[in-house]
A and B are shown apart, each in its own frame.
Chain A
Amino acid sequence: MSYQAANPLADEFELELGGAWTAYWLAFLRVVTGWWFFHAGVTKLIEDGLAYTYGPAYLRQMTGTALGPIPVLMGEHLGWLIQAMVPLGETLIGLGLMVGALVRLASVFGVFFMSLFWIGNAEFGHGLVNSDFMGLLLFMTMIVLATGRYYGLDAIIEKTKLVKRHPKLRYLLG
Chain B
Amino acid sequence: MQQHTTVIDKAAMALSGGLMLLGVVVLGIVEILAGKPYSAAPLTNDAGEIIATPMIDPTLRTGLVLAGILVLALYGLYKLVVPMENEATTAQQEITAD
Contacts and interface: CB of A to CB of B under 8 A. Distances in A.
Interface in B51-66: 58-63, 65-66
Contacts of B69: 111, 115, 136, 140
Given A118-B62, A171-B79, A127 B86 contact: no
Given A129-B24, A167-B87, A171-B76, A119 B62 contact: yes
Interface stretch (A33-41, A59-67, A155-163): A59-67
Contacts of A136: 69
Contacts of B84: 167-168
Given A119-B66, A168-B80, A124 B72 contact: no
A125 B72 CA distance: 28
Interface in B22-41: 23-24, 28, 38-41
Given A6-B3, A171-B76, A66 B59 contact: yes
Contact of A126 (B23, B24, B39, B73): B39
A9 interface: no
A64 B62 CA distance: 12
Interface in B67-88: 69, 72-73, 76, 79-80, 84, 86-87
Contacts of A118: 62
Contacts of B41: 122-125
9 contacts: A115-B69, A125-B41, A127-B28, A128-B39, A128-B58, A128-B62, A129-B24, A136-B69, A167-B86
Interface of B: 3, 23-24, 28, 38-41, 58-63, 65-66, 69, 72-73, 76, 79-80, 84, 86-87
